[in-house]
Amino acid sequence: MKRTQMSLSIRSHSSDDRHCPRLPDRHYRGLPGFGLLRWLLVVLTSLSVGCGDTTQSVTQVEEAIPDLEAETFEIRRVKWPMLVRVQGSLYSDEVSAVGARVSGRVGQVHVELGDTVVAGEPLVTIQQDEFELLFSQAEAQLAQARSAVGLSINVVRETEGEAADLELVDHLDPVNSPPVRRQRAVWDEAQGSLRRADKLLAQGAISSGEHEEVAAAERVAEALYSASINSVEEKLALIGVRRVELALARQRLDDAVIRAPFDGLVQSRSVAPGSYVRSGDAVVAIVRTDPIWFHGTVPERYASRLRTGLEIKIGVESAAQPVVATVTRISPSIDLASRSLAFEAKIDNHDGKLRSGVFANADLVLDPAAESLAIPVEAITEFAGSEKVWKLIEGVATQLEITTGGERAGWVEVIDGLTGGDTILSNASVGRVARVVSKGEPVSRIVGGDGPGETDTTVSRDRRRLGELVGRHRGAVAPGK
């Protein structure tokens, strides 16, 4: 059986036909539904020859368009928060390179890479023999200074007892110390001898020279008494010096054990038993990753919208689901080199799944109340770099090019080409030029506020589009072999 071929060449049969448009076949091959339109032109040829009345031809074509039962979607304005995609990294809450406070040879290392430590836990111990000897020496020197003023040589080491003993030393009256009491007794005796010499001199029992010797002895005793008081005060001050030396020796002994400054994890260790460290050398690195921080930047044009408390969804490759956090810190100034504003978001990481240094992508919600038009992703078809939908114009599906924005969870934002109230096919794969019979009422699967309705201008434009579609396919069609 031979297949009938149709030629789209328009042929003149009367004097009026020369006023009809003559369009080559290549004009139609780029139109959607080319095969169906060729069939429509055959129908038109049988209905009308020549240019005829356009309205009557449109009506006849509409009656000849086949029906298509498909699900439709009515465009609505929906909640579409304003998002900015930012990139950044995760940083630890605290990082500390714990160093030695005293010089010495490492005796023992208590931790390894990745160990969990708590504040105060030993990390490294430096050999303590020398520090223990220095502590004992300082303790003996303090006992010596205490005994010089008549205090007990037993040094109290407990905190409360040490404080009480220190208060006793501070309130010690030098006059009551043994050296001063002894010199006081000598002075009292010299004063008594001087009083007796005064009586004997008055009686003429002694000469004035002998009296002067007794008086001089009394003055010497007085001077020695004053000197003893000064000596005791000096020894009390020396006790304070010895106490400080003892405390310093105790501190150096304690510093021989290097401890964790906070709860965290061991990031690295740089010493081993037997190695010599100097004061200030780093021995272990400790990090705290709970909480952990996301550090990112936004372009300068969004700086005025950025504020603390904004929601941000942070995604890393190691996490199946994005982490929701809030902006916590914002830099006070724009970086002049990148023209961007830095910010940080605090992330709860009690389970330790997130690690510092990881690269992360994040969606920053700048305006959570923003709205936009959105359609299902399956309602869009792509060809040659353009995106199109099947829009219903007076019930007939017509392919229309649109401009889209971002895609979220199966929905695509519409920037241009559609307005609120328009109806499209929910699935572009079944679209063709046909009169659409909806499966029930047009659906709207996004919850949101109603957008602006269809205006008279929109209706007129859509009707003109349908009229142009019909007008292009008017004319006589000659069947071929």
Q: Annotate 132-160 with b (16+ C-beta within 10 A) or e (fewer).
A: eebbeebbebbbebbebbebeeebeeeee
According to the model, what pLDDT value does residue 51 have?
44
Identical fold, 68-80+371-450 and 86-95+288-367: no
* 38-44 LR contacts (CB < 8 Å, sep 24+): 38/6, 38/8, 38/477, 40/64, 40/65, 40/473, 41/6, 41/8, 41/473, 41/474, 41/475, 41/477, 42/6, 42/477, 42/479, 44/473, 44/474, 44/475, 44/477
Q: Which CATH number fits domain 68-80+371-450: 1.20.970.10, 2.40.420.20, 2.60.120.10, 3.20.20.480?
A: 2.40.420.20
Verdict on whether the full-model pTM lies above 0.75: no
In whole angstroms, give the CA distance from residue 111 to residue 266. Answer: 8
In whole angstroms, give the CA distance from residue 281 to residue 1. Answer: 96
Q: Where are the domains of the chain?
A: 68-80+371-450, 86-95+288-367, 128-255
For 86-95+288-367, CATH gives 2.40.30.170
Q: Would you say 374 and 74 are in contact if contact means Cβ atoms under 8 Å apart?
A: no
In whole angstroms, give the CA distance from residue 452 to residue 77. Answer: 8
Tell me if the domain spanning 128-255 has CATH number 1.20.5. no
pLDDT digit of tens for each residue in the chain (481 aa)? 333 333 333 333 434 444 444 444 444 444 445 444 454 444 444 444 444 454 555 555 555 678 888 889 999 888 888 889 999 999 999 999 999 999 999 999 999 999 999 999 999 999 999 999 999 999 999 888 888 877 776 655 544 445 556 656 666 778 888 888 889 999 999 999 999 999 998 888 888 889 899 999 999 999 999 998 888 888 888 888 988 999 999 999 999 999 999 999 999 999 999 999 999 999 999 999 999 999 999 999 999 999 999 999 999 988 888 999 999 999 999 999 999 999 999 999 988 889 999 999 999 999 888 899 999 999 999 988 899 999 999 888 899 999 998 888 889 999 999 998 899 998 998 888 888 887 655 554 443 334 333 334 344 444 455 555 545 444 433 343 3
| Closest C-alpha among 429, 426, 307, 302 to residue 375 | 426
According to the model, what pLDDT value does residue 431 have?
87
Structure tokens at 203: 């009686």
According to the model, what pLDDT value does residue 473 have?
43
| Closest C-alpha among 121, 99, 98 to residue 110 | 121
